[in-house]
Structure formats: structure tokens, C-alpha cells
Amino acid sequence: MKIQDSADLCYPHLYNNSCKKPSSPWTEVLLVQITLSLISMMTVALNLLVIISVSHFRQLHTPTNILLLSLAVSDLLVGFISMPGEIYQNTSCWFLGDSICFLYNYLCFIITSTSVGDMVLISIDRYVAICDPLHYQTRVTERRVKFCVCLCWVCSIVYNILFLKDDLIQARWNSSCYGGCVTVVDLFSGTFDLVLTFIAPITIIVILYMRVFVVAVFQARAMRSHIRAVKLQHSVTTTATKSELKAARTLGVLVVLFLITFCPTYCVYLAGVETFSDSYAFAVDFLFYFNSCVNPVIYALFYPWFRKTAKLIITLQILKPGSCKTIIE
């Protein structure tokens, strides 16, 4: 009986300290690996299109698109780092050592924190654009947005190294068994991180978008009521308003999907991962990661510029001289 049990361990010679191997049938493991690997590659490819589009074409160098660029970078890293690591962790034992385990968890924390920060910045951008449109051009400049994006990444990097410093120092002792890769955080640090990276950002996002929604509905009604009265003025002033409302709607969909995929992950960890099956916790984690693949699809559905730039990139027309000055209708 002992020999049979040992065969199910990651390190059979460490019988009392070894983690168990994933117990799923190899056909199921193979199917999961292939499916999720395809999703991971799609995530990288789609977000790479967004990054190249916004970076290459000068017309797209707007404050809002810079925020989308930062979000696309974090989404690309999800597909390149977080998803493959999650697949590996849940379909095999962890044989890469404590240092790589810490580095992987650290990068995942940075990516998640930055994504949350980007969503907060996007909500602030739409709030100013819809609720204070007269001052939007002066308050939300390209330089200020770039500074905020850089600050978001730097703060995420510094905060998470401080948050995980104990895990770095005591990586070997934090592991409950050999062959696994987990991050152990004390109650105080976990509570502080919960408030800073979940409760506070979610509260800010919800409050800002509720305000944006109310103002957007009011503006839409005002536009409909005056559309016949001042045709000339409407054609000049309302075009920009329509554009901002459309952007608010598109980014609102982005934020709502983010909340739908983000909240279950934290709810699982709030309730305690041990209260759920490994497969359920894995599904919730990958739901959050899958959001990174969905974001570019939202751009394709709502942004004509993304469809056009994607076509130019895929057909290699961006390699032509002066392609960065192409007018994107």
C-alpha cells in the first residue's frame, strides 16, 4: 500500500514531505493543456496586435489609448507568464525550484496589481471625459497619462516586493510540501493587500462608473431632445459628445467584464481556498486570466480603428515607409 501511495507523490523518496501528483486522467490533463495553451497563445497574439497598433500609429497616441496600451501589456504578460504557469501548476508537480516559484508568483502579483490600477485609471479617464468634458483636454494630457501609467507599474513592482519579502526570505519554509508552489501570507498582510488591491479599487471603479452612467444617460436624453432644434450646432458640438459616450460605453463593457472575472477569484480566497476543490479554484483563476483574452475581442467589436490597424499589421503594410502616419478612419 505504501508503494502505491508513493507512486502518487511528486518526490517518492520524501514520503512525509512530498506533495501529491495531480490525480486527473492523462487524457483529461492533455485536453486541458491543449485547450488552455491555445487560449494562452490567442491572448498573446491579440494583445500584441493592440500594442503594435497603439504604439505604431501616431493618430492613436491619445490618453485613453495609452491606458489601453498599458492594459494590453499586462494582458499579454498574463498570456505569456500567468496562464502557462497556472497550467503547469495544475497539471504537473512543481519541479522548477523555490526561486522560480517565487519569481513566478511575484510576476503574477505585479501583473494583477497593474491590471487593477489600469482599470482604475480608465474609470477616472471616462469620469473626467463625461462629467467634466470642458476641462478634459487640459486635465487629461498625454504626458500626464504616461506618468500615471509609469507610476502604476512602479508602485506595483515596489509594493509586491515588499508584500512578498517574507516569502522570498523563507521560500523553502513556506512550502507545505515539496513539489508545490504556493505563497503564504500572514493575516495582517493579507487583509491589507485585500483592501488595497481589491476592496478600494472596486469601490472606486463602481462609484465612478455609476456617476458616468447617470451623466451619460442625462446627456443622451438631452441630445435627443435638442436634435431637431439646433441642427447646425448639434452637428458641430455633439459629435465629440457622441464619441465620448461611445468610448464610455465600450470601456464600461471592459470594466464590467473585468469585475465579473475578477471578483470570483478574490471571493474564493476570502472564503478560503481549502474549502473548494482544486479543479474549482483552478477554473476561477483561469476565468480571471481569460479576461485578458476577451479584452482585445471587445476592441474589435466596438473600435473600428482596431479592426483596421489589425488588418494593416497582419498584411505587413506597417512595414511600408511612413505607415505610422496612416489616417485611421
Say which range, 3-17, 76-90, 140-154, has the weakest mean pLDDT: 3-17
Say if residue 81's pLDDT is above 60. Answer: yes
Output the average pLDDT for the chain: 79
Sign of the Cα torsion 108, 114, 119, 120 reads positive
192: phi then psi, degrees, rounded to nearest 5: -60, -45
Backbone dihedral region of 186: left (phi > 0), alpha (psi from -120 to 50 degrees) or beta? Answer: beta
**Which residue type occupies 68?**
L
pLDDT band at 110 (very low <50, low <70, confident <90, very high): very high
Report the pLDDT averaged over residues 114-122.
91
DSSP string, 69-123: HHHHHHHHHIIIIIHHHHHHHHHS---SHHHHHHHHHHHHHHHHHHHHHHHHHHH
Say which range, 12-21, 51-60, 72-81, has the weakest mean pLDDT: 12-21
Report the pLDDT averaged over residues 62-68.
92
Query: Rounded to an integer, what distance in angstroms lies between the CA atom of residue 104 and that of residue 314?
Result: 31
Grid cell listed for 250: 465600450
Q: Chain centroid to CA 253: how far?
A: 14
Identify the pLDDT of residue 289. 79
Identify the pLDDT of residue 234. 47
DSSP string, 230-260: -HHHHHHHHHHHHHHHHHHHHHHHHHHHHHH
Write down the domain spans for the chain: 20-325
Grid cell listed for 6: 508513493
Identify the pLDDT of residue 4. 43
Query: Rounded to an integer, what distance in angstroms lies between the CA atom of residue 19 and that of residue 6?
Result: 10
Contact between residue 123 and residue 209 where contact means Cβ atoms under 8 Å apart: yes
Report the pLDDT averaged over residues 163-183.
67
* Residue 79, CB-side half-sphere exposure with 13 Å CA sphere: 24
pLDDT band at 192 (very low <50, low <70, confident <90, very high): confident
Between the ranges 16-20, 53-57, 206-210, where is the mean pLDDT highest?
53-57
Identify the pLDDT of residue 15. 64
Query: Rounded to an integer, what distance in angstroms lies between the CA atom of residue 244 and that of residue 131?
Result: 10
Report the pLDDT averaged over residues 281-297.
78
Q: Residue 47: which of 316, 326, 299 has the closest Cα?
A: 299
pLDDT: which is higher, 150 or 267:
150
**Which residue type occupies 191?**
T
Give the CATH superfamily of 20-325.
Rhodopsin 7-helix transmembrane proteins (1.20.1070.10)
